[in-house]
Structure 1
């Protein structure tokens, strides 16, 4: 009886060992396979029992035609642009999906792996392919579309007519948002449909200057007037040309005005004529003579309007049309007049010629009752140097001026602001120096010899021949 029990136990042990060996072998066989486990699909294409390369080839075979035939229509308003998948190198990230499929059933300990493999037999698992495309090529396409869609907004404008301001309203413009459009396209491509219609993200952009901005220009801030000789025709013409080029300029808050940028090169092609200009303290003939009268008039108008002076230079000699310390010389590419709109609202420059007057007014929004005054102080007068030369060809005691000289001056200029009759600000604007110029005098050294007169003997001369003095 005991022998039979022993035989039964031995048989059970043998069966168990056989089962264990078989199961272990089967597990090792399953776990060591180099293929994707059954029950796994990618984009609804069964890839179980395939190697990674086989799965990649199968997916390309099944899906490549759809990629090549994909059409994407981009729409805005009544316009549309059709691009193909090839245009943006549209495709799928096969490697990422295949790697994910291959790893199913290969994570965790052997028992968890077997459990997952068995589960895949019961509950199949599908992996979605992620789309890929060339962002650079898509961006280049959108840049091209931008040229068709984008328009430049138009600033509101302002001018004076019969003493009143006339404002023309601004114009808005469409503007493609490439960044937002690319995000919409990126999200839409995930849907993986063959034909897509994607709306472009187009926004309306406004200009820098609006009607509301210009509506703040209501009152006169400051002005200045200088006079010129209309008989000097070419100089007068230059003043009119330069004055017209700055008329109507609007400066928004913090904008900087440049006389040279606004007026441009002083050339014959720009309408400027030859007229006297100052060079190294001397008057010579040059193109655009007279322009400095415009810049000096504008400089004083800016001072009276309490604007911030950024750059300004005085002449080498005092001007005839403004007082010392009140001039502003300019030379294209060398010397400029610049000032900044340091106010909280836009300003408007009105510049015109009336008869023999150069008139510049600056308008804005005067919100206080301040009064501005410009004063100059003559700090020092420099004597005129005199050089004497001698000329033996000129009679002794006579002289002539070969080169006319002048005195020199040091001048300080102040801007004083009053409120309710009291000074609230006294600002030193500039300290200018007008160099003296040497005067050269030629004096004669030539002496004239004395002529000796002899007495005339009247003997033998008839009385009527003698002339009485």
Structure 2
């Protein structure tokens, strides 16, 4: 009889073919009789393998014992090792509730040739013998347990990215380094673990980690937030008052050290670097400015006048009145002085009185006569103070109170005298009234204490006056009256000389043309009516 349990096999395939032929032609009853003793055997039939091992001839208990010993017990000893952060995490197969379907395999193998009618059982036994049947155990595990372990590894690796930062306090900067962000490549590790579990193989993995570099701070940004430009004490002029503006302290930090510290911050984690904020004291302080304001007398000069008749008394009154208008005028650096703007209109409503003036080639009477003595005095003070002359005209005729070429005439609405404060400090004009005299002081800050200013004039041309005789019938024969005194005309050049040590600068001033005034000897009377302007 053919042995279907002997593991040594059969001698010839032809015998099986004969049995199959008998079955196919309806000789099934004979086959059952022939192989009937096989149906009650207590071992596994020929042609069955489990996990590529021939298990024929084994009892059901032997198969189960072998599977337990070769699969389940071995699996319990296997593990997956994950390395990260200088650590290792062992995932034992038992940690994920791994299980092998041993009972299922045993029942499936044992059922071959033992289920169905006798004819079906014989046919199945013969079929497996001719065409061996392979069985493989199947491993199951708890995915939630796997995910839980991977989550623990993820949490152990995870580092929240904290960017570098800084804090600015009253006196220092605190640079704080953060941490680079770290995150497990979770999906990749899960795939590796699942693959190892499915293969029932121990494995070692180096967990791959995504690193998110922290952002560093910007040194220039920090510097700009800290830096405060110091402001020296200064001043401003408002309503003829000098207001001193106190200095403002600055703040700074050593930029090179700041940049080096920021660079160091980017290389190390969890460090704090303190940097001192320096206070910058301005070079010019409040007391420095206060000490210089109106410290020096740039020029001091006096003009005198006489009061012996109505004309000269009115003239003296006008001179004193103008001095009061000018007194206390303060000019800021770069600010100009306009005589007409400061003094205003010369009218009786503003306190002016009529006195002699030069007008239209004659001497007439008009309000404000005599004030040119103050404008001329101001011109000379401006010259010797080294100030910039903006506008100046000489009188039509010569005057007696200043040298030729150094006078300055004015007329409301037309001729003005102007100069500019070209120093770096305020200029104050002070006028002091004395007995038939006015003293003018230019007070400011002498920026050239070693400089000497002089003014030189030169008469280039002389124009003698003529004597004109007028016959007046009312006069006695031979009787003469001088109606108008004669005045010589001149063309005068002038220059201002600045000398400071060996350095000499020469400035050509506006020349002066003085008209001659012919002398009139009356032998009769004649009125001359002309429009008057201030000229003297």
**TM-score interval, normalised by the smaller of the two chains:** 0.3 to 0.5
| TM-score scaled by length of structure 2 | 0.42
